[in-house]
Amino acid sequence: MFCYNTGYVKSSGYGGAGIAGATYDTFSVSNSYSLGKAEGLKNQWLGKPQAIVSSTDGNSTIKNCYYVLELTGVDDPNATAVTADEMKQADFLTKINAGEDAFVADTKNINNGFPILKWQATEATGIKHINNFASTAINLDGNTVVCDQPVKVYTLEGVLVASGHDVTLDKGTYVIKADGAMKKVVIK
């Protein structure tokens, strides 16, 4: 799976967790970590807040997952607690990658020194055109987005940074929404 969470998670109901609220059947969560605070109501049948997964049945698999208790505020019996300092060390990358190379060191301080996904550390490549974007064509010319319909452009954190028919963007990774659909794009 190879994912991580750094955001605050507050469930309006029972449970709540950094990676998945509940897993059932043959769902699996692996090679992931959470730093985000998790809050929610507790119930012996419907779950309680956990660092990685709130509620699971006996058929789900949760393996090689980690969390920082001081940051999540909740424990997780299906994952391993480590300190923030431990998570920032090179040997942690070896553990969470489990023979793969999905996570790398955060040398650009993208994630406050915590491991990042490899794609986050790579330089962006230019995109000239996005095909089949809902029912509209969005053209990218360098760092300018041009569309016959209004688009909204968000950061990966969900912050709206631009909107309109002709939008100029800085280097970065964005989510473009238009006509009820969305695409992730990288501007170099």
- Which pLDDT value is given to residue 119? 85
Q: Average pLDDT in the 51-60 region?
A: 78
- Which pLDDT value is given to residue 104? 94
- Which pLDDT value is given to residue 95? 95
d(CA 16, CA 84): 22
Average pLDDT, the chain: 82
H helix runs in 52-104, sequence order: 69-72, 84-87, 90-97
Say how many residues make up the chain: 188
d(CA 35, CA 70): 9
- Which pLDDT value is given to residue 45? 64
